[in-house]
Amino acid sequence: MSLTMSRFNKIHPNKPLDVMKYKRRYIPGLDGLRALAVLFVIAYHFNWGVASGGLLGVGVFFVLSGYLITDLLVEERKKKGRINMKQFWLRRMRRLLPAMLLMVCILTVYLTIVDPGRLSSIRGDIWSSLTYTNNWYLIYHNVSYFESFGPPSPIGHLWSLAVEEQFYLIWPLLLMIVISTIAPTRGKLFLLILAGAAASFALMAFLYEPGTDPSRVYYGTDTRAFGLLIGAALAIVCPSRKFAEPFSRKGTAWVNIWGVVGLCIVMYMLIKSGKYDESLYRGGMVVLSVASAMVIAAAASPFSAVGKLLAWKPLRWLGKRSYGIYLFHYPVIVLTGPADPNAIPNLILQLAQLTITVMLADLSYRFVEEPIRNDKRNPFRKEVRYMESSKPIKRLIMLFSVVMTIFICVACARVGSENNGSSELRKSEISEYSIENTKQTESAPLNNSKSMSSSNVLLVPKSTAEDEKSSNSSVEITAIGDSVLVGVAPYLKELVPEINIDGKVSRQMSEAKDVVAQLDSKKKLGNIVIVELGTNGPFSSEKLEELLNNFGNNREIYLVNTRVPRDWQDSVNKTLADAVKGRSNVTLIDWHSFSADKPEWFTKDSVHLQPEGAKAYASLIAKSIQTR
């Protein structure tokens, strides 16, 4: 809202009116782009097939953040000769922290009342989210973005905010050092930033292993920095102030061309890409980032076709609230969705979830985000009040943050202590189900899926004292698998007592090669080998061929296919079936067909087995290796 000179001087007697000109130009097209990105992220979490690449919406946000932050920093340095780090970080805190604290506080209250056990299970997620280290917490604890058999964390989406906040913390310092030393000109700075982006992408390509869960490279700040840096590079060569005025006819034509091309590429990838597409981690995300940069450059001009399209009023309205929409959408989906994550999407329920999300985001925007960011004394008044001093609002922010943080900490600590007894019980169950207590596990199978998910379990066959002392002892039958095999192990050992079972929760096919080498070195790799892997994600035919070649032709190999209601089930089973062709020593055990129409065999996740199902699974394996 504009102010007359007299009114401004009355409110700010010691400030020149020029300070108002320093305020950044509002770019409506960028709000429209935010709206598109967040809508596709929501559609992806709704499991809509039309948005199979909706997870890439986060990549669009990264490029946009890199552009706007770098544009702001470079412009401030140009006008003031320096970057005020303290003020920059305070602005970021005022923009991001209040809404996140509000969301986490509401979630904490809800779970404290409705599901205290769940609150206890996500305490680590909460602490890491509050410290903006959530992405590294998830990496350290091997939490997959793509695969989950238990209830998902309602704040699992905050990993992306951690990446951005880490960028906001480090980037201003790096930018000032680089500008002041080795890259004082725009050209050199642009090339240096692109080199950093190339290094980040190279690390993604190096760490990514085809046919495995890509969560490490998807979460990592180091492997996702290229999106932020591509946006930063755009800000160096195309600062927003250049787009404030109309271009020539030829210039406008070029802006329209690259904007339309970029938007088409972004939309195509959001619609057609898949989370397991190898191309995404071999350069596809870089293509998305470059295309996003093209759209941002076009949208920054209110005179371009893309800028006018994205400035559509409903998109702008959603874009202004996109941060709150992103914060609230996932908790709403997780906490109000069906217990079975594989249930057919209910469009009425999803419409209700979307409505609740937008309402919460709008309330957060009007009564928390905007008042704190713009120093409004009373958020219930429509007109803007310019404060004579920023001290009251700073105190309000501090009080708001401290109260909410204390509440969250107390609630989590209280729930954690109440659940401590059950945690100790689960730990004791796990310790009983270990290599030192094989006799007990043979007669008492583990039925607690939470216990299994908390520990790696290795079962070995019964042996005499002389066998245990011998370092050269060998076995006839070996089974290698994941948590499904862990649950089946006691029943399988009843039917095949001499079997050596190596089961590990969340094991992937990519780990099997090292497991085989370790077992072989210890003389525990039998002449008959059963491989049960594929529950936790897809793998390439090359990876399976490599494993089979390691076994050689002198062993009998049994591959057990999988029944897992996830989008990689058919791919895994096809890869296993293809591997059997042309190999006389490899047999497929068709658990998928054998367990058809037997829902009573499975636990709630439709993957792990009830006692009846575990007995059937063990019987199928035992009969298969006996009739070979």
Longest dimension (CA), the chain: 98
Q: Nearest 5°: phi and psi at 457?
A: -125, 130
Structure letter (DSSP) for residue 601: G
Given a contact cutoff of 8 angstroms between Cβ atoms, the answer to whether 232 and 69 are in contact is yes
Residue 224 CB partners (closer than 8 Å, separation 6+): 59, 62, 163, 200, 204, 217, 218
483 catalytically annotated: yes
Place of tokens 């598109």: 36
Residue 251 CB partners (closer than 8 Å, separation 6+): none
**Pairs from 596-600 (Cβ < 8 Å, separation ≥ 24):** none
Nearest to 256 by CA among 306, 208, 294: 306
Q: Which of 273, 304, 483, 510 is catalytic?
A: 483
Dihedral (CA of 84, 86, 91, 93) sign: positive
**Residues 48, 201: Cα–Cα separation, whole Å:** 29
116: amino acid identity, one letter? P
What is residue 527's three-state secondary structure? coil
Residue 623 CB partners (closer than 8 Å, separation 6+): none
**Residues 29, 313: Cα–Cα separation, whole Å:** 10
472: amino acid identity, one letter? N
Q: DSSP string of 129-173?
A: HHTT-HHHHHHHTT--SS--SSPPPTTGGGHHHHHHHHHHHHHHH
Q: In what order do the strands lie in the sheet with 556-560?
A: 457-459, 499-503, 477-481, 528-532, 556-560, 586-589
Structure letter (DSSP) for residue 375: T
**Residues 427, 388: Cα–Cα separation, whole Å:** 58
Q: DSSP string of 309-346?
A: HHT-HHHHHHHHTHHHHHHHHHHHHHHHS-SSTTSPP-
**Residues 581, 579: Cα–Cα separation, whole Å:** 6
Q: Which of 605, 606, 619, 624 is catalytic?
A: 605
Given a contact cutoff of 8 angstroms between Cβ atoms, the answer to whether 44 and 52 are in contact is yes
**Residues 225, 229: Cα–Cα separation, whole Å:** 6
**Residues 80, 131: Cα–Cα separation, whole Å:** 31
Given a contact cutoff of 8 angstroms between Cβ atoms, the answer to whether 480 and 531 are in contact is yes
Taking residue 193's Cβ as centre, other Cβ atoms within 10 Å add up to: 26
Catalytic amino acids? Answer: 483, 605, 608
